[in-house]
Every structure is written in structure tokens, then in C-alpha cells.
Amino acid sequence: MFKPHGVIPALVTPLDRNGNLMENALKQVIDYTIAGGVHGLFILGSSGEIYGLTNEQKRRVVEVTVEHTAGRVPVYCGASEITTRDCIQTAKMVSEVGGVSALSVLTPYFMSPTQSELIEHFTAIANSTELPIILYGNEARTQVKIEVNSCKELSKVDNIIGIKDSSGDMTRMAEYLRVTDRESFTVLAGRDTLIYAGLCHGGSGAIASTGNIAPKLVSEIYNTFVAGDYQKSLELQFKLAPLRLAVDKATFPVVLKEGLRMVGIDVGYAFGPAAEMTSESKKVLEDVLKDLGLYQIY
């Protein structure tokens, strides 16, 4: 069974002002992040604005990413719609395109299922596909938790192979690790400030949005940890923190797109009603990127 590991940036979807896909910019982001040493690419997540893309755009993002990545790193893909039916539809589309190593499935949003309904939801999606499934909890955005017992139960489903935990609750991440089988189930940090902490508890890496902007820095948190240089890994985690905190300076994922523009890749705009950053917030981000040696004049 496929085992996720390392740092996997949750890629933005480059869009022009009219919401059209910028395919060449997507290829630039793919090349930039892979050159930075990432261990995989994750498309069609919340950073990728899956909620605003048409079905045709979703398919094209998968096609372009698989073709351009050309096996250099594994490709992970979101199948994160509100209903079970629509998640299954996206999962089938991804399978049809081919070349994707695993699906990430977010909890439903807007509706608030019970834990038993959530277990049925994830199980039905897993049963609909041969692709490995990574559960995705991000309650700050969905208001839906994946409780520890639910994770334990779901980890027994053959092709549910892991969870991305964006709760920011280190106790819960540690509990996910404690109650599941380390050989068959992977826990990935979804909060970029907790990559090191997750690794210390036995996690296997992170799906990290800041990996769009600073792929080398984020990847090295993992690489130095695996190499046994825990002090260096911790220092790099602290070095990353200001960038992750800056991500909250505007409506998500506007800062990720502005950050990429500042490092030299124009990925366009986020779907409205998300607006551009204020000049004050841009200055904060600019200073952070200058401190990291990533800022490019454009």
C-alpha cells in the first residue's frame, strides 16, 4: 500500500481575473516546488480553491499536474465536495485521468454530519475507488471534527491510509497517532506550525500550504529531522513560523498567491469575494520573505 511521507505542498490553482485556469503558471509552481525538494504535490485542496472550480477545471488541473510532474514526485488530489455523491464523482474523474497516488477527502462543510454519518461518508467514498484515501480534518473552515474514535474506526478500512490534521490541536494529533497502526496508517500535519511536533510524535510529514512559497525551507524541516538533526529541524520550524502566521493576513488563499508573486511566479487571483491584500499586510509579507531571502523584485 502507498505510504505518504515528507512535505507535500497544497498547491494554489493559478487563475486570471475572470477565474480562468492559468496552465503555464501551474506548471511554473510545479517546477518551483519540486526544485525546492518537496516529496509530493497536493492539488484541488482548500489552497487550490476546489470549492470554486468547475468540473472541467478540476479535470484540467489534474491532467496538467500529472502530465507536467511526469512521475518526479507523487501527486495527491482532493475529492472534497459537500455530498458523498459529489466526492465519489470527483474520485471517479481522478481515476479516469490516472497518475494520482492518493485522494484527500475533507469533511463536509456547510452541513454538519454526526460522527456516524461521517464514518459512512468516508467509507462509501473509499469503497467507490481503488485509490488510497487520506482523511482531511480542518474544523476551522468546516466546523466538523473527525473525532479520535472515528479516525480509529476509519483506519481499519483497507484503502483509508492516513489523515491530514489541520485542527491545530496537538493533543488530538498525538491521539490519532496513538490509536492507529503506524504500519498501515499515516498521520500528516496540516498546520504548518506543527510539522516538527508531529514528526516528534511519530507523524510522517505534512501537507503544507507554505510549501508553495518556501518549498526548500519546509522540506528541510522534514529532511533534517529524518537525518537525526532534531535541533536543526526545530530551528527551521521556528524560521517558518512568521510566514505561516502571515498567511492569515488576508482571506485565504490570497496570501499564498501574493507570496508566490513576490517570489517571482504570477499565479493570478483568488475567486471573489476574496480581495487583494492591503498595502499594510503586503508589507508584512514582503518583510517576512526578505528575511527568508525569497523576495524577488517584480
Name the residues annotated as catalytic: 136, 164
What is the number of other CB atoms lying within 10 angstroms of the CB of residue 185? 24
Backbone angles phi, psi at 65, to 5 degrees: -65, -45
E strand or H helix that includes residue 124:
helix 115-127
What is the number of other CB atoms lying within 10 angstroms of the CB of residue 205? 27
Calculate the alpha carbon distances from 279 to 6, 55, 106, 180, 212 in Å. Answer: 35, 35, 33, 46, 22
Pairing of strands 205-208, 6-9: parallel
Q: Is 169 exposed, middle or buried (0-12, 13-18, 19+ CB in 10 A)?
A: middle
What is the number of other CB atoms lying within 10 angstroms of the CB of residue 114? 10
